[in-house]
Structure 1
Amino acid sequence: MKTLLNVIWLVLAGFWMALGYVLAGVICCVLIITIPWGIASFRIAGYALWPFGRTTVESRGAGIGSALGNIVWIVFAGWWLTLGHLLTGLALCVTVIGIPLGLANFKLIPISLMPLGREIVPTDRPFIAR
């Protein structure tokens, strides 16, 4: 079932949302000083392509640096990626078949707002973080 949902997700929402994250990652990597945000953006792009069967958990050792980095991320990239997830999720929830996909979009909102200090892990092992 996860594979079927992921394939439908990829066609209806995942590809476009992943492109947004890749664009944000490229911009962050070009600016050199924001490379950590670029790496986080590429990591989330993979999660946005194939979200079913994975979840996010807090990283051990994420401290004040992650919190400050997340504030910078929200200002420059997080708000428009979150808006994309919100609008896509609402559009998908209009149909009965799209409701699980809309909920997956809403599940991606917290990590799109604050990606630093989070790990993406399989749902069968949600407490394994580095």
Structure 2
Amino acid sequence: MRTLLNVIWLIFAGLWLAIGYVVAGIVCCILIITIPFGIASFRIAAYALWPFGRSVVRDPSSGALTAVGNVIWLIFAGVWLAIGHVVTSVPLFLSIIGIPLGWANLKMIPISLLPLGARIVDSDDAWPVPG
């Protein structure tokens, strides 16, 4: 079922989302000082291509620079990306068939808001490791 949903997602939404994130990543990498944001954009692009069966987990060892970077990202890009994900999920929810795709779109909001210090893992590996 995951594969079928991923293929449908790729055709109707994922490819365009991924292209947008890749373009943003290239621009961030060209600007040198924003390379960490570019790497985060590439990571989100890979997640946007194939979201079903994957989850976002926070890295507890990320430090203060990650927090500062996330605040900068939130102000300049994160809020707008989150609004875009919400707006594009509405038509998906209105079509009964698109409800799982709408959920996948909403599932991307946390990483589009605060991408630094987050890892994308298989859903089977998403449980936190003790200690």
TM over 0.5: yes
Give the secondary structure class of the aligned counterpart of 1:116: coil
Paired position in structure 2 for 1:95 = 95
Aligned residues of 1:24 and 1:77 also touching (Cα < 8 A):
no
Letter in 2 for 1:86: V
Deviating above 4 A after TM superposition, structure 1's stretches of 4 or more consecutive aligned residues are: none
CA distance in 2, matches of 1:86, 1:15: 17
CA deviation after TM superposition for structure 1 residue 128, in Å: 6.2
Letter in 1 for 2:48: A
Identity of aligned residues (%): 60
CA distance in 1, matches of 2:26, 2:75: 17
Paired position in structure 2 for 1:79 = 79
Paired position in structure 1 for 2:104 = 104
CA deviation after TM superposition for structure 1 residue 77, in Å: 2.1
CA distance in 2, matches of 1:112, 1:81: 6
Paired position in structure 1 for 2:122 = 122
Aligned residues of 1:78 and 1:114 also touching (Cα < 8 A):
yes
CA distance in 2, matches of 1:58, 1:106: 17
List alignment gaps of at least 5 residues for structure 2: none
CA RMSD across the alignment = 1.3
Paired position in structure 2 for 1:27 = 27
Paired position in structure 2 for 1:8 = 8
Give the secondary structure class of the aligned counterpart of 1:98: helix
CA deviation after TM superposition for structure 1 residue 114, in Å: 0.3
Paired position in structure 2 for 1:61 = 61
Give the secondary structure class of the aligned counterpart of 1:46: helix
TM-score by structure 1 length?
A: 0.93
Aligned length: 129
Give the secondary structure class of the aligned counterpart of 2:121: strand
Letter in 2 for 1:63: G
TM-score by structure 2 length?
A: 0.93
